[in-house]
């Protein structure tokens, strides 16, 4: 079964500092990869996704992520964090399908980001 590990439960950074959130997955083949953000009491907003092609993907709000096959990782980065980025971040994977079928997401346990002013 596929699994997702987000090793950092909490991260605190200063506003303006760079950010990297780690995500590792366990799966027999390269899955589809996603990062979502969740603000308190809210649903999930898609930040970015990787299906194929360029391993460095750009997302919304200035976020980017890099897929590294050799490390089974899909880390999220932002060069300069804003106070409004404080939220919980979830990495998710879905099975790569060659035929039709659902793409149910398997999520990590999340990383809570706190931004110090």
Partner 1 sequence: DTGVSQDPRHKITKRGQNVTFRCDPISEHNRLYWYRQTLGQGPEFLTYFQNEAQLEKSRLLSDRFSAERPKGSFSTLEIQRTEQGDSAMYLCASSLVDSIYTDTQYFGPGTRLTVL
Give the dihedral sign, CA 1/89/101/95: negative
CA quadruple 108, 84, 57, 18: dihedral, nearest 10: -90
Question: Contact, 92 vs 6, CB < 8 A?
Answer: no
- Show the site string, 65-84: x = touches partner 1 by CB under 8 A, - = not: --------------------
Beta carbon nearer to partner 1, 63 or 110: 110
Helical H runs in the chain? Answer: none
Q: Indicate whether 60 belongs to the interface with partner 1 (CB under 8 A).
A: no
Q: CB-wise, 4 or 115, nearer to partner 1?
A: 4
Q: Residue 47, interface with partner 1 (CB under 8 A)?
A: no
Q: Can residue 45 be called a binding residue for partner 1 (CB under 8 A)?
A: yes
Q: How many residues bind partner 1 (CB under 8 A)?
A: 28
Residue nearer to partner 1 on the CB measure, 81 or 92? 92
112 and 11 in contact (C-beta within 8 Å)? yes
């Amino acid at each position: 079964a596929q699994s997702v590990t987000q090793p950092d439960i909490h991260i605190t950074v200063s506003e303006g500092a760079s950010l990297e959130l780690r995500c590792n997955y366990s799966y027999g083949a390269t899955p589809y990869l996603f990062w979502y953000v969740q603000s308190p009491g809210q649903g999930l907003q898609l930040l970015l996704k990787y299906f194929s092609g360029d391993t460095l993907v750009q997302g919304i709000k200035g976020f980017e992520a890099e897929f590294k096959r050799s490390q089974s990782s899909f880390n999220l980065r932002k060069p300069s964090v804003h106070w409004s980025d404080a939220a919980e971040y979830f990495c998710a994977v879905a099975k790569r399908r060659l035929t039709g079928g659902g793409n149910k997401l398997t999520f990590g346990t999340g990383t809570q980001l706190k931004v110090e002013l």
